[in-house]
């Protein structure tokens, strides 16, 4: 059986903090341990309980991040909620050399920068069913202080405004019911499906 053309392109996953990106990715990697490679970003934020250095992120200090940046290590990078995040060339190359589909989980400033590179990924936006649902998920996760939650919600509004620009993303998946969203996400990740959901109004 031939490999679908889209499977060979990297997949850029974005969406507001708390929408369920990590939850969907965790399921995908558990079901297909050998097909995909997660682009492990560098970040200056502190690890959350259960997060492993080198698996979820490369956790670095701000001066280390700045040094890597000055050496040209990153394909893209951004400041998000008072921390730096970046995707290194080395990480993406390593995954591609293994013949796995590279999946990036990045925010909107990074998406903009990737559009100026020759990576040619498929852009997938994970949308919440409503802003009210997003707020309750972000608070419910319980990993951030209320001040940090507020910062992330502000960033979420920008993320949604960007997603509303026509053709910014190739595919949208609404993470309403997790099982339904996962089935669609899986097909998109495998390159089997290229049409998703319609972006909800997200004006509540
Ligand atoms: P992100 O990686 O996008 O920041 P997470 O995957 O950490 O988001 O999910 C944020 C919270 O929302 C978690 O507590 C997760 O269990 C929950 N969650 C994820 N998907 C759904 C869903 N479809 N319905 C309800 N809660 C969800
Ligand atoms: P979190 O702190 O919740 O893990 O991530 C916060 C935001 O940073 C999320 O929107 C996530 O997609 C984004 N992010 C994670 N890694 C990178 C990266 O390397 N570059 C960019 N631009 N954003 C990233």
- pLDDT over 90 for what percent of the chain? 92
From the alpha carbon of 155, which atom of ligand 2 is closest?
10
**β-strand 11-14 against 122-127: which pairing, if any?**
parallel
* 3-class DSSP string for the chain: CCCCHHHHCCEEEECCCCCCHHHHHHHHHHHCCCCEEECCEEECCCCCCCCCECCCEEECCHHHHHHHHHCCCEEEEEEECCEEEEEEHHHHHHHHHCCCEEEEECCHHHHHHHCCCCCCCEEEEEECCCHHHHHHHHHHHCCCCHHHHHHHHHHHHHHHHHHHCCCCCCEEEECCCHHHHHHHHHHHHCCCCCCCCCCCCCCC
The single residue of 9, 27, 48, 137 carrying the catalytic annotation is 48
Ligand 2, atom nearest to 41 Cα: 19
Query: What pLDDT does 3 receive?
Result: 78
| Tens digit of each residue's pLDDT (9 = 90 or more) over 12-30 | 999 999 999 999 999 999 9
* CATH classification for the domain delimited by 11-190, as one of 3.90.980.10, 1.20.120.80, 2.40.160.100, 3.40.50.300: 3.40.50.300
Residue ranges covered by each domain of the chain: 11-190
Asked if pLDDT for residue 74 goes beyond 70, the answer is: yes
Is 48 an active-site residue?
A: yes
Residue-averaged pLDDT of the chain: 95
* pLDDT > 90? residue 185: yes
Spot the catalytic one: 100, 137, 152, 180: 152
Determine the residue of 17, 18, 176 to mutate for testing ligand 1's pocket, defined as the one with the most ligand atoms within 8 A of the Cβ atom.
Answer: 18
22 ligand 1 Cβ < 6 A:
yes
Distance 166 CA to ligand 2 centre (A): 23
Q: Is 46 or 1 the better-scoring residue by pLDDT?
A: 46
Cα 204 to Cα 72, 95, 130, distances in angstroms? 41, 39, 7
Q: What pLDDT score was predicted for residue 171?
A: 97
According to the model, what pLDDT value does residue 11 have?
98
What are the tens digits of pLDDT across the range 81-108?
999 999 999 999 999 999 999 999 999 9
Q: Which of the following is catalytic: 9, 100, 139, 141? A: 141
> Which residues, in sequence order, are CB contacts of 80 under 8 Å at separation 6+?
107, 109, 155
pLDDT in tens, 108-120: 999 999 999 999 9
pLDDT above 80 (res 2): no
């Amino acid at each position: 059986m031939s490999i679908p053309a889209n499977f060979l392109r990297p997949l850029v996953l974005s969406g507001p903090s708390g929408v369920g990106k990590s939850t969907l990715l965790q399921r995908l990697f558990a079901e297909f341990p050998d097909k995909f490679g997660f682009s492990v970003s560098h970040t200056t934020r502190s690890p959350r309980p259960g997060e492993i250095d080198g698996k979820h992120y490369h956790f670095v200090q701000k001066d280390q991040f700045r040094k890597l940046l000055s050496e040209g290590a990153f394909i893209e990078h951004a400041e998000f909620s008072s921390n730096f995040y970046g995707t290194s060339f080395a990480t993406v190359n390593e995954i591609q050399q293994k013949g796995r589909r590279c999946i990036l989980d990045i925010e909107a400033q990074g998406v903009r920068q990737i559009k100026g590179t020759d990576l040619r990924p498929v852009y997938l936006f994970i949308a919440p069913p409503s802003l009210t649902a997003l707020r309750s998920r972000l608070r419910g996760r319980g990993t951030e202080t209320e001040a940090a939650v507020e910062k992330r919600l502000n960033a979420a509004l920008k993320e949604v405004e960007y997603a509303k620009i026509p053709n910014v993303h190739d595919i949208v998946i609404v993470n309403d019911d997790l099982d339904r969203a996962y089935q669609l996400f899986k097909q998109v990740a495998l390159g089997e499906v290229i049409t998703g959901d319609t972006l909800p109004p997200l004006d509540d």
